[in-house]
A and B are shown apart, each in its own frame.
Chain A
Amino acid sequence: QKEVEQNSGPLSVPEGAIASLNCTYSDRGSQSFFWYRQYSGKSPELIMSIYSNGDKEDGRFTAQLNKASQYVSLLIRDSQPSDSATYLCAVKGGSYIPTFGRGTSLIVHP
């Protein structure tokens, strides 16, 4: 059973702070890693993907991958109230089917 674990939160951070979201996965053969953002009542949308160990930066977002520790994280710098949402971690192995975590709720308060 492939598992993707996330802390459900909520994670509450003040505006302007760094939000750190974490995800662990069980399948060592996993090759692709994704972070989706889901606003309340909306559908998930892809914000970051990462495929190799290390950091990948895109604007205020940084994804970090450590395959040895089976750990992937998402950092959001200069957090804004508009970043308040649920963040879903998804992991894909050799098949075409990604496995999703249950998501972490992020609240950015002014």
Chain B
Amino acid sequence: DAGVIQSPRHEVTEMGQEVTLRCKPISGHNSLFWYRQTMMRGLELLIYFNNNVPIDDSGMPEDRFSAKMPNASFSTLKIQPSEPRDSAVYFCASSGQLRTPGRINTGELFFGEGSRLTVL
């Protein structure tokens, strides 16, 4: 059973270039999260989609960042133009809606392997 799939695993680019990160969530999961992780700031939520709709994008740093989820099996995070301070590991995670008696959507996240971005 495939987990969350992210691409590319590594990206090195020059300042000013456009970067597109891709994510395929686990089939059947209806929540998708984009996180950024750095040593200084830890794991930061960038944006959260539910049923392909952006619900919370308050973590998106600025207009240079945009994210889309055109369907249930694909999402992109785009940075344009990229800057050296954007260097980080970007994780995509998905979560499913579990209808266990007494508990709905327990909130466990399944992470992809991450995309390590270096902006020179």
Contacts and interface: CB of A to CB of B under 8 A. Distances in A.
A51 B102 CA distance: 11
Contacts of A36: 109
Contacts of A49: 106, 108
Interface in A23-56: 32, 34, 36, 42-46, 49, 51
Q: Sort chain A's interface into a size bin.
A: 20 to 34
Contact of B42 (A92, A95, A96, A102): A102
Q: Sort chain B's interface into a size bin.
A: 20 to 34
A6 B73 CA distance: 34
A103 B42 contact: yes
A86 B62 CA distance: 29
Nearest to A46: B108
A43 B42 contact: no
B48 A97 contact: yes
A88 interface: yes
Interface in B104-120: 105-114
Interface of B: 31, 33, 42-43, 45, 48, 50, 55-56, 91, 95, 103, 105-114
Given A44-B43, A44-B109, A51-B103, 18 more contacts: A34-B107, A43-B112, A43-B113, A43-B114, A44-B91, A44-B111, A46-B109, A49-B106, A90-B109, A96-B31, A96-B55, A97-B33, A97-B48, A97-B56, A99-B45, A100-B43, A102-B42, A102-B43
